[in-house]
Homo-oligomer: A and B are copies of this chain.
Amino acid sequence: MSIAVRSVSSAEPIALPPSLQPKLDDGLNALSAIGTVVRFGRNETIFSDGDDASYSYRLISGTVRLCKLMSDGRRQIAEFLGAGNFLGFEWLETHAFTAEALTDVVAVRYVRRHLDRLGDERGDVRRSLMAVLSHDLWAAQNHLVMLGRQSARERVVSFLLALAERSGTKDGGTIEVPMGRQDIADYLGLTIETVCRTISDLKRMRLIGVPNRTQISLTNLEKLREIAEGDL
């Protein structure tokens, strides 16, 4: 549990990088007009479980982890978010999890009250917000299957395949793994040792390569897919 709070959060006038805009054909671009750019340093907390949910965010760059903590310190990571993802769009009074910057993060911050108003005025915005929530729910339910019914090996492989999917990495390609092994373990409901051992196993089986801590190459995507489906 390391800390490093550069209590930053600089505020700037806004302009979404064009690379993000085409990603959604929807009404979320209307949000550009009411957001503020903010920055967070590695390991900085963006908001905490129980905080008043005054702001929502859209990530421009960097990676964020969403954590739930138990009273005795056990941790479960609900999701990792990357560029383009939305954060804190739940329609609740307080946040239900802690959001932490895994790397340095740049995001657009929205005042929730403004979002609410915009939703009232524009149907496309409203539908986009619903779509974001629905997507998060969909992701959480798939995550449930993983935690409830998959073996350690299946979980690790599924995780790697999901990273590959996100980044559009093909067979033989290399994925970036910005999160540490402990974060992966806390996402998969495993221990760090089991994650390490499983990765080493996959390496020994020549299904992946591990050039360094933050990169993994997918040597045999076919077989990895089989493992994820339980066919092995």
Contacts and interface: CB of A to CB of B under 8 A. Distances in A.
A158 B68 CA distance: 16
Given A91-B131, A91-B134, A130-B129, A143 B145 contact: no
Contacts of A72: 229-231
B137 A70 contact: no
A91 B148 contact: no
Interface in A129-158: 129-131, 133-138, 140-145, 147-149
A134 B53 CA distance: 13
Contacts of A134: 90-92, 133
A184 B144 CA distance: 14
Contacts of A186: 148
Given A96-B138, A144-B143, A149-B76, A130 B91 contact: yes
A78 interface: yes
Interface size class of A (residues with CB under 8 A): 35 or more
Contact of A119 (B71, B126, B147): B126
Contact of A189 (B90, B120, B140, B149): B149
A230 B75 contact: no
A97 interface: yes
A197 interface: no
A61 to B, nearest CB: 25
B130 A70 contact: no
A140 to B, nearest CB: 4
A127 interface: yes
Interface in A47-80: 68, 70-72, 74-76, 78
A68 B145 contact: yes
Interface of A: 68, 70-72, 74-76, 78, 90-92, 96-97, 116, 119-120, 123, 126-127, 129-131, 133-138, 140-145, 147-149, 186, 188-189, 229-231
